[in-house]
């Protein structure tokens, strides 16, 4: 670090420190907007409020020093991530004796809040995770994942749900959802008011959905499953069955997050085999080019990759608990320490929230599948390089994807940065409509049309291949902001590829694929241990 820069940072730190001490002596410390220190109890206790101010000053100073350090960008990101973990963990609000709001709760409740907090803590120790919502208020198939349908096919990788029509007429060409296997599918079918599944069905689409199996340690048939297995026996098999049931040679397909990456890989493999399976594709918060993976890059290096390959690469599981913990600590104040304070220090029960219930219902991943994915996407970015990989015994070339595409990114997404999602427009070779939604990875996607919340950015019409700007910022400069949900925009686009409308059939499945059990099926109800 430049000594002069370091000296300037130190001088400013000492000056601000002195100013805060003077304000404290005069009882004139300003209130804080930071939600951790915004409660009235912090304003009423000058010593605690001073501690909060000094903590925030120290945190800002450490971040400035990290910015000023002479480091490569990758190392700087890791340093910032480490600083975030330590400084967020050491916030005075996280400790009972230093949190006046928690102390006031204890006094007001005559110790009951402390007793309740201990009970909450012991229960979470038993669960081996921090509770983010009141899980007793939700049941898969009871009040989440409730859109009516039937399981019409299953194998060791997935169950295929066909949803019952809710309109007299439906589009002739079916629609298939491929959700990520890293999470349960019902993020797309939470409750009636915020279900993308129900919305698509209500718009007249013949909807099918892949419900991935959640592998457990005793499921020996899945512990050695590979990327190729998920492509051949997962995505391509689901497409084949949907086409057979509906007698449609080409279908519309949506892929979400890792589901979109799997979908693109599968359709490229089909193209090399001379199979044209998709009339259109929709990719929601999906990465195909992994050159910029945002904050997740801090976990990616050769040492970590080799360790995974040596431990679970030939068989085993990447546990749901580890995945959930990793994603939570990407936003520790919101998804970790907020609940430590509320659940344990103040003895509060978390509110019932369907999205956080889904977030707690994580899935395991087969080790060979994960290690192949981790090396060939996050570490080496091979997937988007033509011919660099072999999938299904064929060279992988995503440039073969020339069907119309709807590509969606979320502006505040920390898992799939929107500018990385935009890179898909330079890979896909068909007509493309790119849409940018407000909010993050999940809230940006699950934005019900009826709520009329948030907004999205888009240009007019669908762009011809190669006509979109190469740089995401240039696209954004020419895009218009539209209030409300992007769902109607997608429905309008999708209707152009859905074919004519025909009378809806009440019977689901077919003679070759009779219904097995009602939706949501058995696979989605299996919880990781």
Domain assignment of residue 141, yes or no? no
Same domain assignment for residues 85 and 169 = no
Same domain assignment for residues 174 and 309 = yes
End-of-domain residue from the set 52, 74, 89? 89
pLDDT value at residue 236: 98
Q: What is the CATH number of the domain that holds 438?
A: 3.40.50.1820
Tokens 């599981």 sit at which residue?
317
pLDDT value at residue 240: 98
Task: Say how far residue 24 (Cα) sits from the centre of its chain.
Answer: 43
Q: Give residue-wise pLDDT tens across range 265-278.
A: 999 999 999 999 99
Same domain assignment for residues 402 and 481 = yes
Domain assignment of residue 110, yes or no? no
- 416 Rama class: left (phi>0) / alpha (psi -120 to 50) / beta: beta
pLDDT value at residue 408: 98
Query: Which of 257, 405, 438, 519 is flagged as catalytic?
Result: 257
Same domain assignment for residues 168 and 85 = no
Q: Give residue-wise pLDDT tens across range 478-521.
A: 999 999 999 999 999 999 999 999 999 989 999 999 999 999 99
* Bridge partner list, 208: 162, 176
Contacts of 466 (CB under 8 A, 6+ apart): none
Domain extent at residue 39: 3-89
What global pTM score does this model have? Answer: 0.94
Tokens 């930071």 sit at which residue?
34
Q: Give residue-wise pLDDT tens across range 303-351.
A: 999 999 999 999 999 999 898 888 889 899 999 999 999 999 999 999 9
Same domain assignment for residues 75 and 155 = no
| Helices then strands, each counted (H, E), the chain | 19, 17
Domain assignment of residue 119, yes or no? no
Beta strands 432-437; 455-458: pairing state: antiparallel
Same domain assignment for residues 183 and 300 = yes
| Contact assessment for residue 480 and residue 461, using Cβ atoms and an 8 Å cutoff | no
Same domain assignment for residues 407 and 301 = yes
Same domain assignment for residues 399 and 486 = yes
Q: Give residue-wise pLDDT tens across range 172-192.
A: 999 999 999 999 999 999 999
pLDDT value at residue 255: 98
521/60 Cα distance (integer angstroms): 50
Same domain assignment for residues 160 and 74 = no
Task: Say how far residue 191 (Cα) sits from the centre of its chain.
Answer: 18
Structure tokens at 177: 């959802």
Total structural domains in the chain? 2
pLDDT value at residue 438: 96
SS3 labels along 333-359:
HHHHHHHHHHHHHCCCCCCCCHHHHHH
End-of-domain residue from the set 46, 64, 89? 89
Structure tokens at 204: 């007249």
Domain assignment of residue 356, yes or no? no
Report, as ranges of residue numbers, the positions in the chain whose pLDDT lies below 50: none
Active-site annotation holds for 257: yes
Give the chain's mean pLDDT.
96
165/14 Cα distance (integer angstroms): 67
Domain assignment of residue 432, yes or no? yes
End-of-domain residue from the set 73, 89, 105? 89
52/99 Cα distance (integer angstroms): 9
Beta strands in 143-291 (DSSP E): 149-154, 158-163, 169-171, 175-178, 207-212, 251-256, 278-284
pLDDT value at residue 452: 82
Tokens 């340093």 sit at which residue?
79
Same domain assignment for residues 217 and 311 = yes
Domain assignment of residue 70, yes or no? yes
| Contact assessment for residue 77 and residue 297, using Cβ atoms and an 8 Å cutoff | yes
Beta strands in 101-174 (DSSP E): 149-154, 158-163, 169-171
| Contact assessment for residue 181 and residue 262, using Cβ atoms and an 8 Å cutoff | yes
Domain assignment of residue 330, yes or no? no
Same domain assignment for residues 155 and 68 = no
Domain assignment of residue 350, yes or no? no
242/207 Cα distance (integer angstroms): 9
- What percentage of the chain has pLDDT greater than the value 70? 100
Same domain assignment for residues 76 and 169 = no
pLDDT value at residue 451: 87
């Amino acid at each position: 670090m430049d000594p002069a820069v370091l000296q300037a940072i130190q001088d400013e730190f000492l000056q601000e420190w002195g100013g805060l001490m003077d304000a404290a002596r005069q009882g004139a410390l300003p209130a804080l907007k930071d939600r951790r220190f915004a409660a009235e109890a912090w304003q009423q206790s000058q010593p605690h409020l001073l501690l909060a101010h000094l903590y925030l000053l120290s945190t800002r100073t450490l971040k400035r020093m990290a910015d000023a350090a002479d480091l490569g960008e990758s190392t700087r990101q890791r340093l910032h991530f480490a600083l975030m973990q330590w400084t967020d963990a050491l916030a005075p609000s996280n400790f009972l004796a230093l949190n006046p709001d928690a102390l006031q709760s204890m006094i007001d409740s005559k110790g009951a809040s402390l007793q309740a907090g201990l009970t909450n803590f012991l229960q979470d120790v038993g669960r081996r995770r921090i509770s983010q919502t009141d899980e007793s208020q939700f049941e898969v198939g009871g009040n989440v994942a409730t859109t009516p349908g039937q399981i019409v096919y299953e194998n060791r990788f997935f169950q295929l749900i066909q949803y019952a029509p809710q309109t007299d007429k439906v589009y002739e060409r079916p629609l298939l959802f491929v959700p990520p296997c890293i999470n349960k599918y019902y993020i797309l079918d939470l409750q009636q008011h915020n279900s993308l599944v129900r919305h698509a069905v209500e718009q007249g689409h013949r909807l099918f959905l892949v419900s991935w199996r959640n592998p457990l340690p005793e499921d020996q048939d899945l512990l050695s499953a590979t990327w190729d297995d998920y492509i051949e026996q997962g995505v391509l098999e689901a497409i084949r069955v949907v086409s057979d049931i509906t007698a449609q040679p080409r279908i519309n397909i949506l892929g979400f997050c890792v589901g979109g990456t799997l979908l693109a890989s599968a359709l490229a493999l089909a193209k090399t085999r001379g199979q044209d399976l998709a009339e259109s594709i929709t990719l929601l918060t999906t990465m195909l080019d992994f050159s910029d993976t945002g904050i997740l890059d801090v976990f990616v290096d050769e040492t970590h990759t080799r360790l995974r390959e040596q431990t679970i690469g030939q068989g085993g599981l990447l546990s749901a608990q580890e995945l959930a913990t990793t994603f939570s600590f990407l936003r520790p104040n919101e998804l970790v320490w907020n609940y430590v304070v509320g659940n344990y220090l103040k003895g509060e029960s978390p509110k019932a929230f369907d999205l956080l219930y889904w977030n707690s219902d994580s899935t395991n991943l087969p080790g060979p599948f994960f290690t192949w994915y981790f090396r060939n996407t996050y570490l080496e970015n091979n997937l988007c390089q033509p011919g660099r990989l072999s999938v299904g015994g064929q060279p992988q070339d995503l440039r073969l994807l020339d069907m119309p595409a709807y590509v969606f990114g979320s502006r505040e997404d920390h898992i799939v940065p929107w500018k990385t999602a935009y890179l898909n427009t330079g890979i896909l070779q068909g007509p493309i409509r790119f849409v940018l939604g407000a909010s993050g990875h999940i809230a940006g996607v699950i934005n019900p049309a009826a709520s009329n919340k948030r907004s999205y950015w888009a240009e007019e019409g669908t762009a011809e291949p190669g006509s979109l700007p190469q740089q995401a910022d240039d696209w954004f400069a020419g895009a218009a902001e539209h209030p409300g949900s992007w769902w109607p925009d997608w429905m309008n686009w999708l209707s152009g590829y859905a074919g004519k409308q025909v009378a809806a059939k009440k019977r689901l499945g077919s003679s070759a694929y009779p219904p097995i059990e009602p939706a949501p099926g058995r696979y989605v109800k299996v919880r990781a241990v």
